[in-house]
Structure 1
Amino acid sequence: MRLLPLLAAFLIAAPATAQTAAPAAAQPVQPDPAFQARLDALIPILSGGGDYAGYFTPAFQAQVPQATLQAVTAQLIAGNGKPMQILSVSQETPWRATVRVQYEKAVANVLLVADPAAPHRVGGLLVRGFESAEKTLPAVESAFAALPGDVGYAIARLGSGAPQLLKGRNADKPYAIGSAFKLVILAELVRATNAGERTWDDLVTLDGGTLPGGVYARKPRGTRVPLRELATQMISISDNSATDILLHALGRAKVEAMMPVLGIADPARNRPFLGTMELFKLKGVAGLAERYLPLDEAGRRKLLDGEVAGIPPILINATSFTQKIPNRIDTLEWFESPNDLVRVMDWLRRNTEGMAGIEARKVLSVNPGVSPDVRGKWQWIGYKGGSEPGVMNMTLLLQARNGDWYVVTGSWNDLQKAVDEGRFASLIGKAAELSAP
């Protein structure tokens, strides 16, 4: 059970088993003839057919069985139409290239890596994301409106006063936002460091308590970790163990106190401010949510600090996550409207200016959340997103080349089924690209 980090790339197959560094020479790299043969056979593979056994290395086949690959390609086709043709190839080495593949509704960026050793089968296939086929902001807005379930978004310009909403849909409606809630924890850390209460080098000593999945889940008791590292892991890869350590270290009460400061219109809906392990237990332990939800705030805090804290993770049933079934996303989640998230990013922008904000902006910009083509439209990008079955959010803080600031944020909730993350990411990316002045 986990909240999925929203990265610039969506991994659908095993990473490359044999990769070599790109040469430093300026001359264009030519594909080996055997690699060209693999390129020529890529469209049938992405269509769910082709010679699976002859195309992929044994190591790849062990990690990604044919049925798994077919399920993934079917999902991509459902969201983007059939793969039609290769548009371009950017060769990094004779055995490795980034390939732009035209689907019926979008363009995929695909990393393809073949084994330099005969018989030169493919050991790496990575779909890094889709470029939306929409060409204008009105077309993007129409595509958002056509998605099943409930979608809200906001495109805003930031300045010296209140944010100016340029485009929006349901911009004041709260949505489940997944791991985008971690921006509130980051904001409390920024406030505390700006006030001199903390430094980015302060160390947190792990107490050996139970943590959700992540880098620190198996670290021994007594391990010391700087706040900078925890924040970076929490934002860049959405590490849940780092998140819960930071929430505990900074204090739930102080994080909750930040919500009205940030401009979140209904902070009471997010109190008590849940950690990730607490949410997993509430969603995954039989009968617990039914007892938690009817309680008032005081009763919920008592249950969290007592019974919930003592429940071993082994009792969590992760079925809803592994089977991608929405699970109480309208009652057990973190909730913010698109305009709330605009104000959160605006507060972070205002409070990370100058030398004091260098560390926070580094944390926000490690994972830009969008493709290189979109990144090229902007001077600087900060990003956080989140998802679970039925939930997806992407929120971008963007500085234009002329110095102006913008936020592009969107949330998609569907109570009935998992959302198409690739399609939503492509639309948010296109909205960010088209919003650049």
Structure 2
Amino acid sequence: MIPRLTSKSLLALAVAATLLAGSGVATAAGATAGPSPSPTGSPGVEIPATPAGQQLRWVLDAIGRAPVPESEIKEHIADSYLAAVPPAEVNAFLQQLAGLTLNAVDSSRPKQIEVTATLAGHKLTVTLGVDDTGKIDLLGAEPILPLPPEPKTWKELDERLAKVAPRHAYLAAEIKGSRIRPIHAIGQNTDRPIGSMFKLYILGALAKQIRQGKLSWNTQLTITPELKSLPSGELQDRPNGSKVSVLEAATLMISISDNTGTDMLLHKVGKKAVEKTMRAWGARDKRNFPVLSTREMFTLKGADYPKHTKAYLALGTAAKRAYLRDTIGKLPLTSIVPWLKPPRELDTIEWFASPADIARAHAELRKFTDPNVGRVMSVNPGSLAEGTWYKGGSEVGLLALGHSYRAANGKVYAITTLATDPSAPFPATATPELVSLARGAVKLAK
């Protein structure tokens, strides 16, 4: 969901077409493959002959022919995608992309490809994924936007944050051991949905078990159909039975918010261990228990919605655990239908913490002497300086940024921003604005 923050979180890339507010630039929607040459591709750009690459060729070709027959769309696009984005909307989207030019292939795997493109003078990052049958089940485009000017005062930061999100909480603080010294705050103790930030607690439980000798960073995990989740990530594309080390899974979980790696680690360390870590580190909101895997969250919100949501929310904690195991756990990934708007169940089915809780999580992780913890947390600095620890989170209607860093004065600071809009998705301009606010806070916190 986030340009260059990498943690594109949960359903952000699985969701349909939106227009970049005020610019006339289209963002994502669905389509699929066919090896015909693209009239909109740059001559020097070679599209890989992978299932995802073939589907990208089809998309580029279909843009020049839209509207294309509904039968052709159904031949190429997964039913789960079309349930959220009907063929008529696909055609409308393709027509909006007229004139799209492919600039470069940024990354390519058999089932997923990411490219840079230009539309009406605007740069876009386009991500396309296919399912096991080769049909498109993920297609997203994010404008590559310049960062706005950084705020010069805390008052300016507050005013700009309020314009981004109707609901927000914020904390800039100094970390001293486990103690958090607030420097500037808005609702620092208010619990908000945090999206993939909950993965900090999985890393914490994992680091504890490694310190206790129960696991090691070299422990091998096995990718199974039951543990595969939806993007973001890459482990969902690896064959069943593949092995991945705990260190690789943890690195992917934090750096690119790999949901399959997350669920594999959650399964390995155990939900009870993660819940214990959440409580110990302050994230005691009752809505966190039982802690959900990413796949369980997707399924509750996306499979036969709102049937399972209503059933689940009516239960007590013990009964919820049984429902997740006996009902939700038996539903296939193909039962999940992506959603775009309005946001779903942000106040009920999510993971919850306050800005102070997130700062505390960073503080506790920094107390581990194991260097791998720091390496995992700093692979992706979240658009701040190299070496910054970062984990963000997002889903439709939710953006969360959490940084911690050691300043030149030797002090350690944490900056946490939690933003939600329960009524609508955030515009593409929201993330660059929040990044700019975080950068400004780094200077203001000195």
Q: What is the distance in 1 between the residues matched to 2:212 and 2:3?
A: 31
The answer to whether residue 379 in structure 2 is matched with residue 366 in structure 1 is: yes
Q: Relative to structure 1, is the Cα distance of residues 225 and 341 closer, same or farther in structure 2, using a 3 angstrom cutoff? A: same
- How far off is 1:63 after superposition? 8.3
- SS of the residue corresponding to residue 282 of structure 1 reads helix
Matched, 1:57 2:75: no
Give yes or no for contact 1:412–1:419 (8 Å, CA) kept in 2.
no
The answer to whether the aligner puts 1:8 opposite 2:5 as a matched pair is yes
Q: 1:348 to 1:191 in 2, by over 3 A?
A: same
Cα separation, 2, equivalents of 1:414 and 1:312: 29
Name the CA distance, whole Å, in 1 between partners of 2:353 and 2:180.
Answer: 16
Question: TM-score with structure 1 length normalisation?
Answer: 0.69
Amino acid corresponding to residue 426 of structure 1 in structure 2: V
Partner SS for 2:147: strand
CA distance in 2, matches of 1:212, 1:135: 41
Where structure 1 has 5 or more consecutive residues not aligned to the other structure, the ranges are 12-45, 73-108, 113-123
Map residues 87-106 of structure 1 onto 2, 5 A cutoff.
none
Partner of 1:231: 250
Q: How does 1:360-399 map to 2 (within 5 A)?
A: 360-370=373-383, 374-375=384-385, 380-399=387-406
Corresponding residue for 1:42?
A: none
Structure 1 residue 330 corresponds to structure 2 residue 347: yes
1:144 CA displacement: 1.2
2:82 equivalent in structure 1: none
User: Which residue does 2:439 correspond to in 1?
Assistant: 430
Q: Which of 149, 160, 167 lines up with 2:166 in the alignment? A: 149
Query: Aligned in 2, Cα 1:6/1:340: closer, same or farther, shift over 3 Å?
Result: farther
Q: Quick one: structure 1 residues 63 and 419, their matched pair in 2 at CA, closer, same or farther if it must change by over 3 Å? A: farther
Task: Give 1:201 shift.
Answer: 0.9
Distance 2:165 2:377 in 1: 30
How many angstroms does 1:137 deviate by?
2.7
From 290, 295, 299, give the equivalent of 2:315: 295
Shift of 1:436: 5.2
**1:240 alignment counterpart:** 259
Identify if the C-alpha distance between structure 1 residues 369 and 249 changes in structure 2 by more than 3 Å, giving closer, same or farther: same
Tell me what 1:281 maps to.
299
**Structure 2 unmatched ranges of 5 or more:** 9-21, 26-37, 46-56, 65-91, 98-121, 126-140
2: CA distance, partners of 1:282 / 1:310: 12
Match of 1:305 among 309, 313, 325: 325
Pick one of 257, 264, 269 that aligns with 1:250: 269
Alignment map for 1:406-417 (pairs within 5 Å):
406-417=413-424
Cα distance change of structure 1 residues 368 and 68 upon mapping to structure 2, 3 Å threshold: farther
Does the CA contact (< 8 Å) of 1:178 and 1:388 recur in 2?
yes
Taking structure 2 as the reference length, what is the TM-score of the superposition?
0.68
- Residues 400 and 436, structure 1, Cα contact 8 Å, conserved in 2: no
- Structure possessing the higher radius of gyration over alpha carbons: 1
One-letter identity of the residue aligned with 2:399: M
CA distance in 2, matches of 1:248, 1:233: 16
The residue type paired with residue 181 of structure 1 is F
Letter in 1 for 2:172: I
Q: Distance in 2 between matches of 1:125 and 1:428?
A: 20
User: What CA distance in whole angstroms lies between the structure 1 residues aligned with 2:438 and 2:148?
Assistant: 8
Q: Residue type matched to 2:392 in 1?
A: G
Q: Which residue of 1 aligns with 2:408?
A: 401
Partner of 1:179: 196
DSSP 3-state at the match of 1:380:
coil
1:250–1:9 distance in 2 versus 1, CA, 3 Å = closer
1:133 CA displacement: 4.8
CA 361–69 in structure 1, closer or farther in 2 if over 3 Å, else same: farther
Give, in whole Å, the separation in 1 of the partners of 2:221 and 2:148. Answer: 41
Q: What is the identity percentage for the equivalent residue pairs of Structure 1 and Structure 2?
A: 30
Q: Deviations over 1:385-408 (max 9, x none)?
A: 011111110000111122210000
Contact 1:144 1:427 in 2 (8 A): no
Partner of 1:82: none
Taking only aligned residues, the RMSD between alpha carbons, in angstroms, comes to: 3.4
Distance 1:125 1:255 in 2: 33
Classify 1:127/1:163 alpha carbon distance in 2 versus 1 (closer, same or farther; 3 Å). Answer: same
Q: Which amino acid is the alignment partner of residue 425 of structure 1?
A: L
